[in-house]
Amino acid sequence: MLKWIYDLSYDELKEDVCKLKMPGYVADQIFQWLYEKSIDDIAAWSNISKQNRSLLSRKFNTRPDKIIAIEENKEGTGKFLIQLIDGSRIEAVLIREKKHLTLCISTQVGCALKCKFCATGIMGFKRNLTCGEILCQVLLVKREAAASLPQQKRMPKVNIVFMGMGEPLLNYENLKKALAIITSGKGIGILPRNITVSTAGILAGIKRLEEDFTAIKVGFSLNSPDATLREELMPVSKREKLSEILTYFKNTSRKHRLTFEYVLIKGVNDSLKDAGKVSALLRGIPCKINLIPYNENGNIDYETPSAADVEAFCEYLCARNYTVMIRWSKGRDIKSACGQLAVEI
Ligand code: SF4
């Protein structure tokens, strides 16, 4: 059985290369072909001898997962349906901004956390993605983005948000392995400060991430300042207590500001009283707040708040010196917006 090369760290690949009696630098060459040049055909790896290429092709499978459907809207936001080796399907999203691209990447097939406002939660949990399955989303979506650029235009800056299907910090080992390749100069070479890992609040995972990757940003889905309502919206917070997470945030210094994500749901958590509680709760934590008006989603009864209510919520927090962004999600028309990713399995 061939080994799937994307599941190997640099050290694991080097060890395998050396076992094949090739010099260690061949691992660097392979990484360059796969992750810098995005060429997975071993026959095309021209700086590796023919004999070694033949040996490599008998040892490794270098084919990435397959994109089986792409939906794009007028604004250039694309949703990619990707089929994995076992037939499972996941989604990744490409958001084309003026000066940069944002890739929204999944870490699990489905999700066990069942947040009430999220389509992925309804799917339930199927399995964790491997390191290679996380990496391939980045490679495939980047490749598609590069192919769609006008000739001569350089690839814009790429940001990655782990905000697709699944709770990234419940698949920490595979996420960590993938992040090592995504951020390495030998690998994909994306700066850690351009990466955000978004979590529903897995405190042990947040601590590990912040120890292992000090420059990677953490996004925390707050969604309600009220512990009881938050437990209703996000059942995980019955065991991962909001108060403990906020105490950790307050008492730990970091290089960057935290991002608090807040999905605004009409009549549920979008009042000025809620804004007041958010303001009091986050006082003293260097942070910015992303307000994400809820995306209506055939299967769930919640509604999008009015633009006026969203603005009022935002202004309330801005007036109290918070940095606040309203994220009217791009891609609502193709169900690629926050909380809308889900596939039939
Ligand atoms: S919002 Fe995130 S953590 Fe919650 S169910 Fe959806 S994918 Fe899982």
CATH assignment of the domain containing 327 = 3.20.20.70
Per-residue pLDDT band at 78 (split at 50, 70, 90): very high
Asked if residue 295 and residue 220 are part of one domain, the reply reads yes
Does ligand 1 lie within 6 Å of residue 166's CB atom?
yes
Ligand 1 centroid, distance to 14 Cα (angstroms): 36
State the residue for tokens 């940003």: 217
Asked if residue 120 and residue 57 are part of one domain, the reply reads no
Q: Average per-residue pLDDT in the chain?
A: 93
Residues 6+ apart with CB under 8 A from 291: 262, 264, 310, 313, 314, 324, 325, 326, 327
Mean per-residue pLDDT for 98-107? 94
Q: Is the pLDDT of residue 68 over 70?
A: yes
User: Does the residue 77 lie in any domain?
Assistant: yes
User: Does the residue 342 lie in any domain?
Assistant: no
Q: Confirm if 241 and 280 have CB atoms less than 8 A apart.
A: no
Residue 321, Cβ density class (10 Å: 0-12 exposed, 13-18 middle, ≥19 buried)? exposed
Asked if residue 90 and residue 11 are part of one domain, the reply reads no
Does ligand 1 lie within 6 Å of residue 200's CB atom?
yes
User: Does the residue 194 lie in any domain?
Assistant: yes
By most ligand atoms within 8 Å of CB, the mutation choice from 105, 118, 294 for ligand 1 is: 118
Does ligand 1 lie within 6 Å of residue 114's CB atom?
yes
By most ligand atoms within 8 Å of CB, the mutation choice from 104, 108, 109, 111 for ligand 1 is: 111
User: Does the residue 340 lie in any domain?
Assistant: no
Ligand 1 centroid, distance to 154 Cα (angstroms): 34
By most ligand atoms within 8 Å of CB, the mutation choice from 113, 163, 169 for ligand 1 is: 113
Asked if residue 19 and residue 117 are part of one domain, the reply reads no
Per-residue pLDDT band at 217 (split at 50, 70, 90): very high
Asked if residue 152 and residue 45 are part of one domain, the reply reads no
Atom of ligand 1 nearest to the CA of 119: 6
Rounded Cα distance between 138 and 153, Å, is: 20
The CATH number of residue 14's host domain is 1.10.150.530
Q: How many CA atoms lie within 13 A of 13 on its CB side?
A: 25
Asked if residue 111 and residue 89 are part of one domain, the reply reads yes
User: Does the residue 341 lie in any domain?
Assistant: no
Query: Which one of 91, 133, 167, 261 is the catalytic residue?
Result: 91
State which of 61, 83, 104 marks the end of a domain.
61
Residue nearest to atom 5 of ligand 1 (CA): 121
Three-class DSSP category at 236: helix
State which of 42, 61, 80 marks the end of a domain.
61
Ligand 1 centroid, distance to 237 Cα (angstroms): 12
Q: Which amino acid is at 278?
A: V
Does ligand 1 lie within 6 Å of residue 115's CB atom?
yes
Supply the pLDDT for residue 338. 54
Q: How many CA atoms lie within 13 A of 51 on its CB side?
A: 3
Query: Which one of 104, 111, 131, 338 is the catalytic residue?
Result: 338
Q: H helices within the chain, ranges in order?
A: 10-19, 25-31, 50-59, 119-123, 131-147, 172-183, 203-212, 227-233, 242-251, 272-282, 307-318
Buried b (16+ CB within 10 A) or exposed e, 41-61: ebeebeebeeebbebbeeebb
Give the pair of three-digit tokens for residue 109. 């097939």
Asked if residue 242 and residue 93 are part of one domain, the reply reads yes
Ligand 1 centroid, distance to 176 Cα (angstroms): 19
Asked if residue 272 and residue 179 are part of one domain, the reply reads yes
Give the pair of three-digit tokens for residue 100. 């940069």
Asked if residue 221 and residue 202 are part of one domain, the reply reads yes
Mean per-residue pLDDT for 212-221? 97
Q: Which domain holds residue 50?
A: 3-61
Q: Confirm if 133 and 177 have CB atoms less than 8 A apart.
A: no
Asked if residue 45 and residue 88 are part of one domain, the reply reads no
Q: Show the CA angle centred on residue 234, arms to residues 229 and 236, nearest 5°.
A: 120
Atom of ligand 1 nearest to the CA of 167: 3
Ligand 1 centroid, distance to 195 Cα (angstroms): 18
Asked if residue 99 and residue 27 are part of one domain, the reply reads no
Q: What tens digit of pLDDT does each residue of 276-289 get?
A: 999 999 999 999 99
| Total residue length of the chain | 345
User: Does the residue 264 lie in any domain?
Assistant: yes
Annotated catalytic residue 318: no
Supply the pLDDT for residue 345. 40
Q: Is the pLDDT of residue 298 over 90?
A: no
Ligand 1 centroid, distance to 43 Cα (angstroms): 41
Q: What tens digit of pLDDT does each residue of 157-181 get?
A: 999 999 999 999 999 999 999 999 9
Q: Is the pLDDT of residue 94 over 60?
A: yes
Question: Could you give the number of structural domains in the chain?
Answer: 2
Q: What tens digit of pLDDT does each residue of 228-261 get?
A: 999 999 999 999 999 999 999 999 999 899 999 9
State which of 61, 89, 107 marks the end of a domain.
61
Picking from 269, 255, 345, the residue whose alpha carbon sits closest to that of residue 304 is 269
End-to-end CA distance of the chain: 26
Asked if residue 183 and residue 83 are part of one domain, the reply reads yes
Annotated catalytic residue 71: no
Q: Confirm if 56 and 48 have CB atoms less than 8 A apart.
A: yes
Rounded Cα distance between 259 and 161, Å, is: 12
H or E segment and range at residue 69: strand 66-72
